[in-house]
Structure 1
Amino acid sequence: MPVITLPAAQVAAGAGHLPPVCPRHGEPATEQRSIKLISKPPAWAAIFILGGGILYLIIVLALRKTVKAPAWPWCATCSAQRKKLLAIGLPLLAVGLLLVFGAIAMNSDASAVLALLGIVVLLAGTIVAARGGQLPVTGALVSGDGQYVEVKQGSDRFLMALNRGRTRV
């Protein structure tokens, strides 16, 4: 599975500038989604988490590159993957909250263990639900300079459809 690199301007141009094939899975697109693609934070920024989440957040937001894709090809596998991850993650979040609040309300010897279990379930639910977001499902990230959109584990079928479209121009 190759890394597919697309010019950011082509992605931002919208419908007609990308083939109707999912870049990640290579399946025919069932819909075109409007999504906002972002860049990864620089690795060195992670040290600022120790100084407080706010400082890290400010640095990440200041350095983030964004490309608005008005017509990103979205296939049935993308939809199914997103639904599955959200169907697992969101109930885990709810159960984790119930466990934490139940532990607070119980006020017994088992409260600490129940609260810890609730926090672990909350963390697991957050991770799974976050993986069900549009960006993780697409596998697309903006390059550090904001000039390209890169699809990790891209599809050969998308590349072939993209190249066919370029030869017709």
Structure 2
Amino acid sequence: MIRIPAGQVAAGHLPPVCPRHGEHALEMKKLRLISKPPSWAAVLILLGGIVYLIVVMALRKTVHAAAWPWCEQCKAARSRNLGIGLGVLGLGLLLIVVGIATIDGSAGPLLFLVGLVALVVGIVFAARGGAQAVSGAFVSQDGNFVEIAKDDPRFGQALGGRQAQYR
């Protein structure tokens, strides 16, 4: 894992090398990176989804990356996940509508159920196509660092002596 100071990321002082794949960056994208929710917050789901969301939103740390390196593999992964996710999401919606329309028949409830499952799968794939999910970068709990769990060694070499920390 590599930790980059949040100020350095916000200022856009990153080398043109993809942190995840180590390839030369095709473009430098503006990204909004957020922190992961604390592990203890999962218990709050028992109190209700709204309570969980309020606590997570209140504790969230955000860093606006001015220029995040984006390579061809990142672009392909984003397109692939969004394409699969939105396609399965559309199929799920279609199956739900057909299931409701044929609710009196024997296949109606099954189509509706399969549509609901496809809807959840589509949402998961579409979420994995988000820019932050593809980049694999998260803000630390204190908000002082951007952490990349699966970084490529070539990115660390390109950073050189620029205050990056390895764990």
Q: Same fold (TM over 0.5)?
A: yes
Q: CA deviation at 1:54?
A: 0.9
What are the equivalent positions in structure 2 for 1:17-166 lying under 5 Å apart? 17-108=13-104, 109-163=106-160
Q: Residue in 1 aligned with 2:7?
A: 9
- Distance of 1:51 and 1:61 partners within structure 2: 16
Q: CA deviation at 1:114?
A: 1.0
Letter paired with 1:64: R
Letter paired with 1:154: D
**Conservation of the 8 A alpha-carbon contact between 1:21 and 1:29:** yes
Which sections of structure 2, spanning at least 5 residues, go unmatched? none
Letter paired with 1:157: R
Report SS of the residue matched to 1:149.
strand
- Distance of 2:88 and 2:28 partners within structure 1: 30
Letter paired with 1:8: A
- Distance of 1:4 and 1:137 partners within structure 2: 16
Q: What do the CA deviations read for 1:26-58 (whole angstroms, capped 9, x no partner)? A: 000100100100000011111111222111110
Q: CA deviation at 1:165?
A: 6.2
Letter paired with 1:7: P
How many aligned positions are there? Answer: 162
Which sections of structure 1, spanning at least 5 residues, go unmatched? none
- Distance of 2:132 and 2:51 partners within structure 1: 24
Letter paired with 2:160: N
- Distance of 2:95 and 2:44 partners within structure 1: 31
- Using the aligned pairs only, state the percent identity: 56
Q: Superposition RMSD on alpha carbons, in Å?
A: 1.2
Report SS of the residue matched to 1:93.
helix
Q: CA deviation at 1:107?
A: 2.0
- Distance of 1:55 and 1:94 partners within structure 2: 30
Length-normalised TM-score, structure 1: 0.92
Length-normalised TM-score, structure 2: 0.93
- Distance of 1:159 and 1:101 partners within structure 2: 50
- Distance of 2:6 and 2:136 partners within structure 1: 15
